[in-house]
Amino acid sequence: MIRFSTIALLYLILSPCSSFGQDFGSQCETRNASEYLYKEHPELRPENNAAYQKLERAIKQGHLRRNDEKFIIPVVFHIIHDNGPENIPDERIYEAVDILNEDFNFKNLDRFEIVDEFEGIAANIGIEFRIARKNARGNCELGIIRKESKATNNGNWDAPLNVKAVSYWPRDKYLNIWIVAKSDGGNGSGWAYLPSQVEDRPTVDGIVMSARYIGHSLKGTDQASFNRVLTHEVGHFLNLRHIWGPGENGEQDQCDEDDGVDDTPNTNGFTGCDTGRLSCGSLDNNQNYMEYTRCPRMFTNGQKERMLVTLMSDVSDRNKLWQEENLIATGVIGEASECDVVTGLRGDLLENPFKLSIYPNPSNKRFDLTFSLEKREKVTIQIQDVNGRTIHSVVNSVWYNAGEHHLPNIDLSDMNAGLYFLNVIVDEVRSVNRLILQ
């Protein structure tokens, strides 16, 4: 069993982390961010923090856990940009959600690379993330929001321009994720508050991420593991700490510290990928998502328990996110026919902007599509499932002249029956239309 140190847990409160691998170790500002927070809000120190103590008691008792029913969490991505590369396309957002859902449901393809010593405690967390389709007013709005602001250049907690003030949805309904050019004003990758710190500060609750680490931006490169940074940060959002404890990654004295999880071995932290490394007299769990290594593959059963107990708690409204009434209100489950047509960039409800017609609908997996343009435009048409994953591309960035266009006999016979969404994307307008396959 891992040694539990109350003092160790007093310091690891924020997690503004830099990229996994070669840059990760030198840029994580956990200690500096914690001291800044404590200076501004001494009441948030764990020894003074009732929310912190409440969560720790619940985790120790385990009485807030429910059965293995899956949790669903509505997510909104706020893309804060200055018309630079940080203004990433929607597709990268959908890729990021795919990665989260793979990692939190133990469907990541690299799970088979987990070393034998930790294979038995690798956990399926059972959390699914879905992009919201309704805003807090109950209106149709896709949870991918774009706002232009200089704040994108420094997403740090003490930046002169508060990136979280640029765009925010209520935290009792959504997990807020802010995408920026620089999450800490430098080369950092992302950071998040722990739930106990934001009990009375809802407008700063959520995750700040540098855009370059979102989705499969680094797929096929030796830095592909950097695209798991969001998994790491969601871990912090759900009350996980770095597995080495409160100090800086790589410090030799971390063997006496603790992350509050029984089945994560004590370690002084690592930034490479040495799955045989022993730093504290036992094998390090270097494949853990809460490490800084190049080969993240897993959460442990103990980390699962900590996250699920946190989700069942009312601390920082975590228990409101997954309630059925909230999932319906945010449009991630249930009938959402009133949201068949929305824009993706500004969320303004438009009245069928492209005169789109799907016939027949419902269909036996074959249908005709008709749409109209007022001028020559580049068009993308995609089929997405209810989780926002693009599973079929009808046309991809094809130029069409002004006028009516007819695409006959679109064949989706290789897809399962069910509810899908047909997306027509033209310039800065996305038309989302319900598609039923029988």
Distance CA 225, CA 61 (A): 35
β-partners of residue 79 are 146, 179
Name the DSSP letter for residue 32. H
Distances, alpha carbon 47 to alpha carbons 9, 237, 287, in Å = 10, 20, 32
E runs forming strands in 340-389: 357-359, 366-373, 377-384
233 in active site = yes
Tell me which residue of 288, 250, 298, 244 sits closest to 266, measured CA to CA.
Answer: 244
What tokens does 17 get? 């982390």
Distances, alpha carbon 308 to alpha carbons 3, 95, 97, 107, 304, in Å = 22, 24, 19, 18, 6
| 133 neighbors 339 (Cβ within 8 angstroms) | yes
**CB neighbour list of residue 137: distance below 8 Å, 6 or more residues apart:** none
Distance CA 210, CA 81 (A): 11
Residue among 29, 199, 233, 257 flagged as catalytic? 233
Rg (CA), the chain: 22
**Can you tell me whether residue 340 is helix, strand or coil?**
coil
Distance CA 166, CA 316 (A): 21
Handedness of CA 239, 187, 80, 37 (dihedral sign): positive
Residues carrying an active site annotation? 233
